Amino acid sequence: MTTIRGKAWVFGDSIDTDALAPGTYLKAPIEEMAKHCLEAIDAGFASRVAAGDIVVAGENFGLGSSREQAAAALIELGVGAVIAKSFARIFYRNAMNLGLPVLVCAEAGRIKAGQALEVDPGAGKIVIVNSVEHLACAPIPEHLLEMIADGGLLPHLEKKLKGQAA
């Protein structure tokens, strides 16, 4: 997986899946739901976030119900990665399964909103551009990087099964 470059969107602790994928829109297509991602915290987030931008948060990102749409909404908006001090277990797994890189970084609180970041998920390295700061995070293992590069768990398994059939 290559380096992810984007602007930091910084949020606090305990961002729940209802903020990421509001229940009111659960039956709507993902394109519609994504327009409301994080609107309870930052009303303009979905309209201003750019492809490759990086969501940064504190503790327990993605807590709450196990709705897969929480990670899917971020993907639909083009978010390149999520960095947090810790993740709710189910959100972490859903994000990886859908192909969204999520990185645990104890020093995520040092990242400021709007800073340009360069993230190397395989090396576990975050560079705050135009500064001397380099933050360490837990690297994503190679087998998961491969799955993310394939677009998530289902496309990855399809690729593997096609390879066995050949």
Proportion of the chain above pLDDT 90, given as a percent: 91
> On the CB side of 118, how many CA atoms lie within 13 Å of its CA?
10
Sequence-ordered list of residues with C-beta below 8 angstroms from that of 57, at least 6 positions apart, any chain: 10, 11, 12, 13, 15, 82, 83, 84, 85, 108
How many residues does the structure list for the chain?
A: 166
**Kind of pairing between the strands at 4-10 and 116-120:** antiparallel
Per-residue pLDDT of 120-155, as tens digits, reads 999 999 999 988 889 999 999 999 999 999 999 999
Per-residue pLDDT of 62-96, as tens digits, reads 999 889 999 999 999 999 999 999 999 999 999 99
Domain ranges, ordered by start, for the chain: 4-165
Tell me, which fold does domain 4-165 have in CATH?
Answer: Aconitase; domain 4 (3.20.19)
Continuous segment of H or E residues that includes residue 69: helix 69-76
Does pTM top 0.85 for this prediction? yes
